[in-house]
Chain A
């Protein structure tokens, strides 16, 4: 049975979020951060996901930083919302491989 957004992200409930579009396999969070919603971005070894050719096709923070720096993002120290700036956060697993945005 499909889990709902509330099931998947229980802490979202308190934020009063609203769903603005249906779930889709057409794009993922990396694509969304790159302002695309029609292809999945990922440097998987099987070559399934899109990944800019100028960047290293590796699943580590450095490769992701390389791609998103080229898109205009820069490392920052604060987690808080900053008016006028778009911020993304790269979540990694215990091996250091990016998993979520």
Chain B
């Protein structure tokens, strides 16, 4: 069973292939994403993060989830030499760089807690996988072509109980252009995909590594348990040493 809903301004896809799954599970998980959006969306005036940014809530009044997210953001900032920073110059907080991966991971945990084994949860191109697909095989996942609007795939990886996340300037990034060279990409790295032990870890390091430009893939190379695939503006991909192991289809 598979369902897509548009929440947090992006398509959220849940597929559970185990027999006997019901609509209730999907309702519960999509409700969870809506809850996260209500709390963390900087585009919602009434969200907790917006209220914090307007100075209406003091630090000791923050919800437990907010405290957790802010703690994770601080930790990630330290682990990425400051490349991951949620503080804007105006003194406001922008947690969206971490909340997406965190929410996907929590949603996947909800499904797991209900006893389901074979599923994936995707939000805006970042995905957590568990078990096997409908054919009983390891999930096969495409890395999107950063130069195409369509979901064109330029690499296929086989993922078993892990997470994948891609950072880049395309899709929304195309809003940023030189009026005279509308097709010119403003950054030298078009996209950077990270495979990690789970989507939360993959997402936060993909976000930070993308900010490092060409060095980002080397940052991923030195992280234990993470592999990456970086595509530059000329369509040349650079991969970490362990990445190719994911491109081989397992024999199971």
Q: Do A and B come from one complex?
A: no
